[in-house]
Structure 1
């Protein structure tokens, strides 16, 4: 078992931004612990795929224990898993509310707490970066986003709090705040309309978010940052 390479956990890793992150981290020499509900085993010996619901504490415990057993350490965590439910506020059901909080908030809390505890045990610092949304800064008429703002806005606030709490232990905590990104959840027929919601007039690509995450992971003097990668959305219209 070699511990010479950095080891990163990526949640929500089976498609879209998560899959792009796994690929990019491997290309940059990281070993990757990739997790999602539906993820399949990898033939790459430097990718450990763990299927499970990130909102379940037992899944988070499994990710850390099996990841450390396989690779010997945890250096970085990317909290990418999240769900978006676009409904008018009064149309949300209790099930919508529970599922959103389970994935977005419980998932963040469980794996972040355990990952930071492991980083503290190792004693050589670490990094946590969470994928949030610029809708928390700039709501858009016609895009109902109360539960996104409630959960991802909370993670933005927690990011700054954790950054200060762990700064002297060299554990950095940041977030990346995307606009609307071209992923499988958005059909090609929606791209023009969704692109028009950004001041730059187009959607972002998965690579835009991947590049931002890689920057933050290597930016040793950056912590408590909410990096907006959103075509100007957070600045206004």
Structure 2
């Protein structure tokens, strides 16, 4: 039980990668709050759903206050909530740009601005930001998404310095998944999925559970000396 007595918050925790992270944490003893705008796609002991729009700063503060009032602490924060609105740069609308920036970048800031200092005050904690292979290499038609996921890596390195500067054992790391079989990819034609798989050294797409295992490692004491890092979980993708 690697996370026994820990309180964890996972944004975008209703389905996909967030769901698998929440379930993995709960099975290792954590109390998990899965914050999401959508309905929970599953039931798991010790995973509690909470409706939250991460772009709403006041809503994030109210959520933070409620969790602290109920549990007294937050040991783990996974900033996983994210969206895509793809278009070539010359065709990208203001709405597409702003929506992705607000969820994927501002949303990460909105919750961490409260949770990070709390972890610093309590002397420990683990923040895990979900970036993307696109944040490392870029991708045609995803200027908005790539910008946010690269920004998340910058936030990760900054917060690793900020929240540990007074000696607190607060660790901040990022995970950069490659092509992972979530609901989004299930709508993609098989020939394209086969092409994505060929881009990897392992010759296959990833599974959400494989990202969750890395998140579990980073959340636990097994990663007690790892901070400010971005771990790629992409099967050896070559872009």
Compute the TM-score of the two structures, normalised by the length of structure 1: 0.89
1:115 matched residue in structure 2: 115
Task: Return 5+ residue gaps in structure 1 as ranges.
Answer: none
- Residues 155-187 of structure 1: per-residue CA shift (max 9 Å, x gap): 101111111222222111100000010011112
Q: Distance in 1 between matches of 2:161 and 2:12?
A: 26
- Aligned partner of 2:236 in structure 1 is 232
Unaligned runs of 5+ in 2: none
SS of alignment partner, residue 172 of structure 1: strand
Count of residue pairs brought into register by the alignment: 229
Mapped to 1, the partners of 2:60 and 2:209 lie a distance apart of 27
Query: Can you list the C-alpha shifts for 1:173-223, whole angstroms capped at 9, x where unaligned?
Result: 100000010011112743323322323221101111001111111201000
Moved more, 198-207 or 11-20: 198-207
Q: Deviations over 1:129-161 (max 9, x none)?
A: 100011122235xx4221122111011011111
Q: 1:114-136: CA deviations, max 9, x gaps?
A: 11122233x23111110001112
Distance 1:82 1:217, change over 3 A: same
Q: Which moved more, 1:184-193 or 1:171-180?
A: 184-193
1:55–1:107 CA contact under 8 A, matched in 2: yes
**Partner of residue 201 from structure 2, selected from 182, 191, 199:** 199
TM-score by length of 2: 0.89
Contact 1:56–1:106 (8 Å) recurs in 2: no
Q: After the TM superposition, which residues 26-105 of structure 1 pair with which residues of structure 2 at under 5 Å, given as runs?
A: 26-40=26-40, 46-105=46-105
RMSD between aligned residues: 2.0
State the secondary structure of the residue aligned to 1:33.
Answer: strand
Q: Distance in 1 between matches of 2:42 and 2:18?
A: 15
Whether 1:151 and 2:140 are equivalent positions in the alignment is: no
Contact kept, 8 Å, 2:9 with 2:76, in 1: the verdict is yes
Does the 8 A contact of 1:132 with 1:153 survive in 2? yes
